[in-house]
Amino acid sequence: MLQITALVVVLLTLAAYFMGRSRAYSVTSGDLASLHSLPGYHGFYSALVTGIVGFAILVAMTVAASFWVDNAVYGALPEEARKLTDLRQDRLIADAKAIANGQIVSAASDARTEEIRQDLAKVYASQVNLTSYITAGIAIAVALIMLLMTNRQVAPRFRARNRSEWIVQAVLIVSATLAILTTIGIVASLIGQTLRFFSSIPLTSFLFGTHWSPLSGVFEGKMNPESVGAIPLFAGTLLITFIAMLVAVPIGLLAAVYLSDYASSSTRAWAKPLLELLAGIPTVVYGFFAAITVAPLIRGTGESIGLTVASESALAAGIVMGIMIIPFISSLSDDVINSVPQSLRDGSYGLGATKAETITKVILPAALPGIVSAVLLGISRAIGETMIVVMAAGQGANLTWNPLEAVTTVTVQIVALITGDTEADTAAGPAFALGFTLFCVTLIFNIIALRIVQKYRQKYD
């Protein structure tokens, strides 16, 4: 029903545009000079008002209907179900919703529980059906009213262009505000949950402890401070990031130098897009490639020369992550090198320097701030990578600097905590603490990179 309602609102929006435009022609009897705004602006204004108000009502009614349905389902809980814990009540209602949606759920523990689930499913289905029709009716009716109202506003002196521009500006401001508020909300939630975690766990135990097994030390809902030491996670993250940058920085920088100063225009036309095509490959594909191809290859090669290599080694994850970051560093470095003034190149050639000398002694030093910022952004990207290390790195915390052993990272442990079968409150604390640490580290790298870029632009723009 929601999709049909949205489609009807879209059709009413299109109708509003054509009706407003047509009415602007009709009220002037062909004398367009008497109009303050062109007919297209009248249609655009009518479409904006109809579409924005219609979809706003649709979204608001959908959210309100969701709360209404949840309250109705909770209100339908029998007395014996209300005595259950909140977690079991939520589980019971979630099963009822799944049954109403035709999904397969696990069998109930007893006949009475199954009866309650079926009754709640009927209540949920009936309420969803009722609220869907109410939402559709109100949204379509409001959109239709807006269409008729704006169509009647069309007149020679009506400032449709000014109002359209004001509405567009308001939409842009609201969009920017929502983006900022969303970011603030995420950061505030992250900080709040992290402070809640550190109210029971000392900060020093988390930052400097060497044993990571947060869920094994839980007793009566409380964690053992000795089991939440994140040093093995930080070490594994830094090890894989270091290996990735050893692969990405030289290859990416050399590729950027070749494309900017050695490659012909025809070669650059196909080589640069082909290189950047790597950036469009999903990271899960890289992770699959690391787990299925690279890791067994490294293990087989190591065993052939007498080395002990883990099936999920830091080396495999680091190499594949470096391959993923190559187009990122190459593209940024290429843009920076190309932005170096041509006068520096001409002056170097005029003094008798070769192309290699010009690149190593003039261009690269001039582009060094931008290259450093590209590397820092690449490090930030590597630290926050998830899918590759989840699929190719180990799950157990291991404090080692041996790239042939299995290690784990911050992102791997966050995924393991939030997707496990433990209670949400137990796993949320360390997950939020790790997430906040990761946020702070990547934020610092991004700020440093941006400051370097700003200084570079001030120098050469």
321-351 pLDDT, tens digit each: 999 999 889 988 888 888 888 888 888 888 8
The single residue listed with the structure tokens 């080694």 is 313
Residue 101 carries which side chain, given as an amino acid letter? N
Q: Name residue 222's beta-bridge partners.
A: 219
351, burial (CB in 10 Å: exposed 0-12, middle 13-18, buried 19+): exposed
In the structure encoding, which two tokens stand for residue 395, read together? 């799950």
pLDDT for the residue numbered 14? 92
The whole-number pLDDT of residue 218 equals: 59
What is the mean predicted confidence (pLDDT) over 259-274? 85
Confidence of residue 266 (pLDDT cuts 50, 70, 90): confident
Three state DSSP letters for 145-194: HHHHHHHHHCCCCCCHHHHHHHHHHHHHHHHHHHHHHHHHHHHHHHHHHH
Task: Name the fold adopted by 225-460.
Answer: MetI-like fold (1.10.3720)
Does position 290 have pLDDT exceeding 70, yes or no? yes
Best CA proximity match to 124, nearest among 156, 76, 83: 76
Q: Where are the domains of the chain?
A: 2-158, 225-460
For 434, residues 6+ apart whose C-beta sits below 8 A from its C-beta are 230, 233, 410, 413, 414, 417
What is residue 65's predicted lDDT score, i.e. its pLDDT?
Answer: 87
Give the pTM.
0.74
Question: In this structure, is the dihedral angle defined by the CA atoms of residues 80, 83, 87 and 89, taken in order, positive or negative?
Answer: positive
Going by pLDDT thresholds of 50, 70 and 90, the confidence category of residue 251 is: very high
